A = this chain, B = another copy of it.
Amino acid sequence: MTQSGSYDVNAIRREFPILKKSINGYPLVYLDSAASAQKPLSVIEAQREYEAHFHSNIHRGVHTLATQATEAFESVRTKIADHINAAQREEIIFTSGTTDGINLVAGTWGRANLNEEDTIVLSRLEHHSNIVPWQILATEKRFKIEVIELNEDGSLDESSLNEKLALNPKMVAISHVSNTLGTVNDVKRITALAHSVGATVIVDGSQAVPHKTIDVTDIDCDFYVASGHKMYGPSGIGFLYGKHSLLEQMPPWRGGGEMIASVSFEEPTTFNIPPYKFEAGTPHLSGVVGLGAAIDWLNSVGLEKIAAHEKSLIEYASGELMKIDGMKLIGTAPAKASVISFLVEGIHPSDIGTLLDGLGIAVRTGHHCTEPIMTKLGIPGTVRASFAAYSTKAEVDALVAGVNRAVKLLR
């Protein structure tokens, strides 16, 4: 593996203060970015700057601070719309994260459209956040949930996909990238197939946004959700993209300030237009500002360069890990983003995780909020190493050495 001449990972690392940290006497090797990415100084400082010098509640204010804060807030809406190539800025709704976004779609579009005779389709590799909101609604509305199964390598089983779409589902809910297996789904093709049978499509993009350029117009999905904290931004903030025609038809979800046109006890309360209709209460203002800074940061480094860097790391890591006796990679789909899940024969994943932590190496172990994958594979979980823009070949080497050492102790 050679690092592309123009990609200076050391310069990038210097922007992330946490990467200088020591854990248990070893330099931190942070391989848990799929759970949550670290934040560059520009993101941290943008939030600090906002809170220290610009904070005010937004909307409806006539004073200068309120007007400036509102403009800062709304400009990030435009930035996100541009970043994912939405047709209009009004198609971007701020949420508290991916989970919140999916629940919003389930609680509004889903509650209004899904009934007893209906079917929706999920895939086996969905995160709990793209399963449970539908299950909760289904206990009330009694529609059926069908599941697209996986091939051995963790890619979607094409015949299962076709079989489920043949049921004429009303909705297809699918991840862009699997957080456990790394599988990249061809959401553009799946959307086209789903639309051809009349289904509405929601794409869970939380693991895609840090690794890929997203173009919702090209994908043509109806909804797309993501979290700020997975894309080098703050926690507690995320966005939902929705086609404007759908947003206009959807009933409100949370009620409160700003989402209304007029509130009355005597006459019917009326609602604001999208996206404001879906943004009740004081939003996470510093989070929005930080998310804007995160998008700027991603663009300044270049998503293509990050993706190439991560790809070379993942290839190198896969090769090195496979040299370990008893090693089994879980998820080997041809199209794969920067997550490696693995198991070593006869060894519990949490033991490996604990020992790696002793060496300062942060990986995640367990079911990664994707229990249905574990049930199907009959495994208790995996060890997952995930890579980001700041990951290095030396960190891969530390991981491989650490796993080797752990395996020796544990056998």
Q: Which residues of A contact B (CB under 8 A)?
A: 17-18, 21, 23-24, 28, 30, 32, 35-36, 38-39, 41, 43-44, 47-48, 51-57, 60-66, 96-100, 102-103, 106-107, 124, 127-129, 131-136, 145, 147, 227, 229, 234-237, 251-260, 262-266, 269, 280-287, 350, 353-354, 356-357, 361-366, 369, 371-372, 375
Cα distance A305–B96 in the bound complex, in angstroms: 35
B17, B64, B285: which contacts A53 (Cβ < 8 A)?
B17
Q: With contacts A57-B32, A234-B51 known, is A281 near B357, CB below 8 A? A: no
- Closest residue of chain B to A127, judged by CB? B257
| Copy count, this protein chain | 2
With a cutoff of 8 Å between Cβ atoms, the chain B residues found around residue A36 in the complex are 55-57, 282, 285
Is A264's CB under 8 angstroms from B363's CB? no
Q: Kindly list 16 other residue pairs between chains A and B, CB separation below 8 angstroms, not including A127-B256, A264-B372, A264-B375.
A: A35-B56, A62-B357, A63-B356, A64-B357, A99-B281, A100-B280, A102-B256, A131-B263, A132-B255, A133-B256, A135-B255, A229-B285, A235-B284, A236-B236, A236-B286, A284-B284
Cα distance A98–B257 in the bound complex, in angstroms: 10
Q: With contacts A99-B280, A132-B260 known, is A237 near B234, CB below 8 A? A: no
With a cutoff of 8 Å between Cβ atoms, the chain B residues found around residue A55 in the complex are 18, 36, 38-39, 235
With a cutoff of 8 Å between Cβ atoms, the chain B residues found around residue A63 in the complex are 23, 32, 353, 356-357, 361-364
With a cutoff of 8 Å between Cβ atoms, the chain B residues found around residue A131 in the complex are 255, 263, 265, 269
Cα distance A54–B16 in the bound complex, in angstroms: 12
Cα distance A146–B136 in the bound complex, in angstroms: 30
With a cutoff of 8 Å between Cβ atoms, the chain B residues found around residue A264 in the complex are 371-372, 375
